């Protein structure tokens, strides 16, 4: 339920979601506390086939801003984002993942970040800060992810830092709605996890959109996955990396898939042996998961190293599985 009747908001906050009712409610509560007046923005919750009560939650939520819930059959995050963007009425669209909790100045900071600077009046896309919340009872993998994101945000905040394809994420991202429509929105053929945002970044950059970072456009990330869930995401990301690379071969050097021959020679050799052995020994991924669980139980001092190596293995395992469908591209992509 919305208490605002503004027919033309300045900003549309689009929240794509799938089976995360409680997270959506937390995000909406955060948006109720914004410093920007509620008649200047709307919220569109794009529900990707969820049957967990999210629709009812949004319909009953009392908000000071215009709030709408859209429901469509499950089609993946890209499809959910696009549905919300098409329904948006604001000139500026802010994409906000459902596991984010926006700070009070979140919407206002995105708006401010789009005010033209001297000598830079072209279209821009703005990535906001997404630090991971670490509670006292946080699992080791959440702490690992939080530390990695903190380091990534420090790099993005460096003066003069150019936002590359691998830097980009769209879980807290704003851009003009007309700009998104002009470049073609998200590619809805990306139904698995990962790379739908990186592929969009390639097209945004090609269209002359300047990608920038605003630490003030803050939304706290509540990371909820365990290591097996993260491993599944890494494999899916490996598969979708191949899809993106085949569509944009000129961008391969700037993508993760273009880093196959980088890194320490010993690990590259071990990784190649593990990946090659996975087909005749299909229990290997489960063995790696068991190895990680053992390290977590024992609180191994090398657990961070184990996480890095295992996630790298799962990513490239996903890449190799996708390349079996495109053997002609293997030598070209894994240079």
DSSP readout, 301-329?
A: TTHHHHHHHHHHHHHHHHHHHHHTT-GGG
Residue 57 lies in a domain: yes
Residue 171 lies in a domain: yes
The count of C-alpha atoms lying within 13 angstroms of the C-alpha of 169, restricted to the half-sphere facing its C-beta, is: 17
Q: Which of 205, 224, 243 is the last residue of a domain?
A: 224
DSSP 198-221: HHHHHHHHHTTPEEEEETTS-EEE
Residue 3 lies in a domain: no
Total number of residues shown for the chain? 335
pLDDT, one tens digit per residue, over 74-125 is 999 999 999 999 999 999 999 999 999 999 999 999 999 999 874 566 899 9
Q: Which tokens in the block code for residue 201? A: 């970044």
Residue 289 lies in a domain: yes
291, 157: one domain? no
212, 264: one domain? no
184, 246: one domain? no
pLDDT value of position 325 = 85
- pTM across the whole model: 0.93
Mean of all residue pLDDT scores within the chain = 92
Q: For the stretch 64-83, what's the b/e string if a residue is b when 16 or more beta carbons lie within 10 angstroms of its beta carbon?
A: ebbbbbbbeeeebbbbbbbb
Q: Is the pLDDT score of 137 beyond 70?
A: yes
pLDDT, one tens digit per residue, over 36-50 is 999 999 999 999 998
Q: Which tokens in the block code for residue 178? A: 């007309």
| CATH value at residue 163 | 3.90.550.10
In three-state secondary structure terms, 135 is coil
Do residues 171 and 96 lie in contact, with contact meaning Cβ atoms separated by under 8 Å?
yes
pLDDT, one tens digit per residue, over 250-309 is 999 999 998 988 888 888 898 989 999 998 999 999 999 999 999 999 999 999 999 999
207, 254: one domain? no
Rounded Cα distance between 2 and 40, Å, is: 13
Residue 4 lies in a domain: no
Q: How far apart are the first and last CA of the chain?
A: 54
Q: Which of 173, 206, 224 is the last residue of a domain?
A: 224
138, 270: one domain? no
Helix crossing, 227-247 with 284-297: angle to 10°? Answer: 130
72, 167: one domain? yes
Domain count of the fold of the chain: 2
Closest CA relative to residue 29, chosen from 111, 100, 129, 131? 100
167, 36: one domain? yes
Compute the average pLDDT of residues 128-139: 96
211, 255: one domain? no
209, 252: one domain? no
pLDDT value of position 194 = 86
Do residues 36 and 103 lie in contact, with contact meaning Cβ atoms separated by under 8 Å?
no
Q: For the stretch 303-325, what's the b/e string if a residue is b when 16 or more beta carbons lie within 10 angstroms of its beta carbon?
A: beebbebbbbbbbbbbbbbbbee
Q: Which of 224, 248, 269 is the last residue of a domain?
A: 224
Residue 109 lies in a domain: yes
84, 45: one domain? yes
Residue 1 lies in a domain: no
Residue 5 lies in a domain: no
Q: Is the pLDDT score of 7 beyond 70?
A: no
Do residues 174 and 110 lie in contact, with contact meaning Cβ atoms separated by under 8 Å?
yes
208, 97: one domain? yes
Question: Which residue range is the domain that position 306 belongs to?
Answer: 228-333
Confidence of residue 4 (pLDDT cuts 50, 70, 90): very low
pLDDT, one tens digit per residue, over 185-196 is 999 999 999 899
178, 291: one domain? no
Closest CA relative to residue 173, chosen from 6, 282, 16, 334? 16
């Amino acid at each position: 339920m919305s208490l605002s009747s503004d027919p033309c908001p300045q900003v549309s906050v689009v929240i794509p979601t799938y089976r995360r009712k409680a997270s959506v409610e937390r995000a909406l509560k955060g948006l109720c506390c914004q410093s920007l007046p509620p008649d200047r923005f709307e919220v569109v919750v794009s529900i990707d086939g969820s049957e967990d009560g999210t629709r009812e939650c949004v319909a009953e939520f009392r908000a000071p801003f215009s709030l709408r819930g859209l429901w469509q059959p499950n089609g993946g995050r890209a499809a959910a984002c696009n549905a919300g963007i098409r329904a948006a009425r604001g000139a500026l669209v802010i994409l906000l993942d459902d596991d984010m909790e926006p700070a009070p100045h979140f919407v206002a900071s995105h708006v401010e970040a789009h005010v033209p600077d001297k000598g830079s009046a072209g279209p821009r896309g703005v990535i906001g800060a997404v630090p991971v919340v670490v509670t006292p009872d946080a699992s080791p993998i959440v702490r690992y992810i939080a530390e990695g994101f903190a380091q990534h945000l420090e790099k993005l905040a460096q003066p003069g830092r150019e936002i590359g394809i691998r830097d980009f994420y769209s879980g807290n991202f704003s851009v003009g709605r007309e700009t998104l429509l002009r470049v073609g929105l998200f590619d809805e053929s990306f139904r698995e996890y990962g790379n739908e945002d990186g592929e969009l970044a390639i097209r945004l950059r090609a269209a002359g959109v300047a990608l920038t970072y605003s630490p003030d456009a803050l939304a706290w990330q509540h990371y909820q996955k365990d290591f097996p869930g993260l491993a599944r995401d890494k494999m899916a990301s490996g598969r979708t990396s191949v899809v993106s690379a085949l569509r944009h071969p000129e961008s391969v050097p700037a993508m993760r898939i273009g880093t196959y021959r980088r890194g320490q020679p010993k690990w590259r050799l071990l990784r190649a042996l593990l990946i090659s052995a996975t087909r005749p020994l299909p229990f290997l991924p489960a063995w790696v998961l068991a190895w990680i669980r053992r390290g977590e139980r024992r609180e191994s001092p090398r657990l961070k190293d184990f996480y890095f190596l295992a996630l790298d293995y799962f990513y490239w395992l996903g890449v190799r599985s996708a390349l079996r469908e495109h053997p002609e591209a293997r030598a070209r992509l894994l240079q």
